[in-house]
Each structure stands twice: as structure tokens, then as C-alpha cells.
Amino acid sequence: MIKVAVNGYGTIGKRVADAVSAQPDMEIVGVSKTRPSAEAVIAGKRGYPLYIADISKKADFESAGIAIAGSVEEMIQAADIVVDATPGGIGAKNRELYEKYGKMAIWQGGEAHDVAGFSFSSSCNFDDAKGRTFARVVSCNTTGLCRIIKLADDAFGVEKVRATMVRRGADPGDSKRGPVDAIVLNPVTIPSHHGPDLQTVLPEIDIVTTALVVPTTFMHMHILQMDLKETGDRDKILEMIKNHSRIGLIKGFTGIKSTAGLKEYASDLGRPRSDLWESCVFEDSVSIVDDKELYLFQAIHQEADVVVENVDCIRAMAGDDITAAESIALTDRSLNFEAI
Ligand SMILES: NC(=O)C1=CN([C@@H]2O[C@H](COP(=O)(O)OP(=O)(O)OC[C@H]3O[C@@H](n4cnc5c(N)ncnc54)[C@H](O)[C@@H]3O)[C@@H](O)[C@H]2O)C=CC1
Ligand SMILES: O=C(OP(=O)(O)O)[C@H](O)COP(=O)(O)O
């Protein structure tokens, strides 16, 4: 069994902990919080040993009736590999802790590529993670871009990509962020970080991305245009999407044309937390123009798509020798996840 610690039990960390627990070859040895909170209570209810970043806060937890297993340093020592899901910028500061105890670690997309020197996407570079001590799973948006661009590149070759990310303003449980009534250019400069971020995984792709933020909480929406090297074939693209285990195809007859419709669908499917681990490509948007231009819309559930990638990354780094396809299949099967 691969012993996994999750440092930072928040939006991403709690989902990674649940996904890891569902795997037959992994176990959670601990999760961490900084202060007593609703999520700390949930960690206890899930049976995850709870460790704290600042052990001097132990009394605060105990007076709230929350049992503490020890300090984050103790948690790290108990693990084979640490998934660092602390807020962007904090994770990089934890690197010396992982080095101190000689542990493998995986960071999230809020950290720069340099934190690990290697950025990961299950369907693009699984084998390159093998034997590494450190890796970073690219951000939710970049994960969505990696999946579909790799697919198009494999099918027809991709000459260049131009994409706009319409980003959610805050996660559903976050009442501090906005905007409440604005469309915010984020960033106002071009390109956004997503293109260069994609190139940390697929360096040969010519890509320019732009991004803005809107007052929603569930999912980002991508407007994608790819110039193909060869003449595109819509039916072939659709077939490849249907066969891709991490890309779902939203069919026109469903009437789903929005992130709201997808949220309802995920909920009706009985997905935990309404999570959509797959990218959601709208079938009717998939269009070939002038033979070689491919257009499509895809929605990305920011809280979910990176979760399954973290599980594969753990397996690539700390597991038995296994192929990407085998790991992806095992991860998904263990979660009862079949792309829509
Ligand atoms: N929320 C999202 O939609 C996505 C987030 N990410 C990335 O995942 C990472 C985590 O983001 P979220 O889960 O959204 O953040 P979050 O704020 O929801 O959770 C972070 C957790 O880390 C804990 N924490 C803070 N400082 C800590 C420390 N020093 N030691 C241990 N725990 C500490 C907090 O208590 C909190 O539970 C970031 O790099 C972010 O960019 C990636 C994809 C999507
Ligand atoms: O990794 C994400 O987005 P990103 O790919 O746009 O950086 C997550 O949705 C977190 O984004 P945030 O930095 O707006 O919280």
C-alpha cells in the first residue's frame, strides 16, 4: 500500500483524500489543517488522522472536541508521498520539509513549475513521472487544455491553439471572493498563464491563451480554436472524445447548454460533491471550419478534474510499474467514474 499524506485539507485536499482512500493500492495516513473548522470535523468523521501545521494550536482543536494525531512533520514522516494542497505560494515553502525527511511530494497548479521542475498530466506524460521525487499537477484549466489538445494533436497534429478561459469567480464554499457584478479581465495582459503552463507539459504546442473571471462558482468554460496540421474530421474527433476516459461529451439532446445544467446533471448522477472529474465538451460546438480549424466549447469543474490526476501521479511516482492507461482505468474504476 502506498502511504499518502495530504498536506492542506481544503477544496482540493479533501477530494484527493477521498479519491486516494477509494484506491486499492493506497491509504491515507494523515491530513492537515491549520485551525479548527468544519473541514477538520469532516476529516475526523472520514477517519483520517488529523495533523496540524502549528502544534501550539493543539489546545484550540482539543477544546473544539477535534482529536489531533500530531504535527505536520510527524505526518510527513509517516508517509511515502505527500500531496501538498495548501494554498498557492504556501506549498513551495513546504518543500524543505519534504526534502528534510526524504519524501516524495506532489504540488498543485497554484505553485510555479519550478517548485518541482516537472509538471504532470495523466494523459500526456504519465511515464515521465516515474522515478521522480517531486512533481506538480497542473491547474484545473491547464489540465482541461492538456487533455483535449493532446487528443487533437494525436489525431491531426496541432499547428497552433488560441483559447479563452471564462473562469469562475470563487469556489462554491468561498464567500470572500468575487466578482459579484463584473466581468474581470484576469489578467488584462495577454497571454494568461495557462498557455505557458500548458507548455510545461506539452512544450511543442504553439498556444496563446486569454482569461477573464465572471460571477459564477461552478466550473470554468473554455472557448477553444485549434489550427490542425492535417484536414480535420469531426466524426473522428467525436469518436476519440467518446473513447477518452477523462473527456465527457455533452450531447445536444440533453438540453444542457450551461454550467448550471452540468451541475444538475452531476448531482442527479449521484457524483460525490457533484464532482465532474472529466472535461465536458459540448458535442454541438465541435466544428471544423475551412478544413483545418477546429472549434469547441468545454466546461471544466475546477474543484474536481485535478483530483484524479493527483491519484495517477501518486501511482506513477510511488507505485508498481504500470502504464498510464492501466492507472487511469484503476483510478476511475475505484471511484465508479465513467466519463459522461
Ligand atoms: N480550488 C480550485 O478550484 C483549484 C485549486 N488548485 C490549486 O490547489 C491548491 C489548493 O487550493 P484549494 O484547495 O482551493 O485551497 P483551499 O484554501 O481550499 O485549501 C487549502 C487548505 O490548506 C490549509 N493550509 C493552509 N496553510 C497550511 C499550512 N501551512 N500547512 C498545512 N495546511 C495549510 C488550509 O487550512 C486549507 O484547508 C492551490 O495551489 C490551488 O491553486 C488547483 C485546481 C483547482
Ligand atoms: O487552478 C485554477 O485556475 P487557473 O487554471 O485559472 O489558475 C483553479 O481554478 C484555482 O483558480 P484560482 O486561482 O482562481 O482560485
Describe the chain by its helix, strand, coil percentages, rounded to 5: 40, 25, 35
106 carries a ligand binding annotation: no
The active-site residue, picked from 124, 140, 280, 313, is 140
115 close to ligand 1 (CB < 6 Angstrom): no
* Cα–Cα distance for residue pair 107/194, rounded to 1 Å: 17
Q: Is the ipTM of this complex over 0.85?
A: yes
Helix or strand (DSSP H, E) at 83? strand 81-84
| Residue whose CA is at the smallest distance from ligand 1 atom 15 | 87
Q: What pLDDT is stored for residue 117 in this prediction?
A: 98
Q: What pLDDT is stored for residue 322 in this prediction?
A: 95
92 close to ligand 1 (CB < 6 Angstrom): no
251 grid coordinates: 450531447
Strand partners, 227: 160, 293
Dihedral in degrees, nearest 10, Cα atoms 137, 143, 148, 152: -40
Q: What pLDDT is stored for residue 241 in this prediction?
A: 98
Q: What is the CATH number of domain 140-300?
A: 3.30.360.10
10 close to ligand 1 (CB < 6 Angstrom): yes
Q: What pLDDT is stored for residue 77 in this prediction?
A: 98
Fold classified for 2-138+306-334:
Rossmann fold (3.40.50)
Indicate the top mutation candidate among 12, 136, 140 to test ligand 2's pocket, ranked by most ligand atoms within 8 A of CB. 140
What number of helices (H) and strands (E) belong to the chain? 12, 16
By C-alpha distance, which of 30, 36, 35 is closest to 50? 30
pLDDT < 70 regions, the chain: none
47 carries a ligand binding annotation: no
The C-alpha angle 76, 82, 84, rounded to 5 degrees, equals 110
Q: What separation in Å is there between the alpha carbon of 14 and the centre of ligand 1?
A: 10
167 carries a ligand binding annotation: no
Q: What pLDDT is stored for residue 340 in this prediction?
A: 97
Q: Decide if 177 contacts 216 (C-beta within 8 A).
A: no
* Cα–Cα distance for residue pair 245/340, rounded to 1 Å: 9
CATH 3.30.360.10 maps onto the chain at: 140-300
7 close to ligand 2 (CB < 6 Angstrom): no
Q: What pLDDT is stored for residue 112 in this prediction?
A: 97
229 grid coordinates: 496540421
Q: What separation in Å is there between the alpha carbon of 27 and the centre of ligand 2?
A: 27
DSSP string, 136-186: EEPPHHHHHHHHHHHHHHHHH-EEEEEEEEEEESS-TT--S---SS--EES
By C-alpha distance, which of 304, 314, 331 is closest to 107? 314
* Cα–Cα distance for residue pair 329/224, rounded to 1 Å: 27
CATH 3.40.50.720 maps onto the chain at: 2-138+306-334
142 close to ligand 2 (CB < 6 Angstrom): yes
pLDDT digits (tens, 9 = 90+) for 182-207: 999 999 999 999 999 999 999 999 99
Q: Is 140 a catalytic residue?
A: yes
DSSP reduced 3-state for 82: strand
Q: Would the pTM count as exceeding 0.90?
A: yes
pLDDT digits (tens, 9 = 90+) for 102-114: 999 999 999 999 9
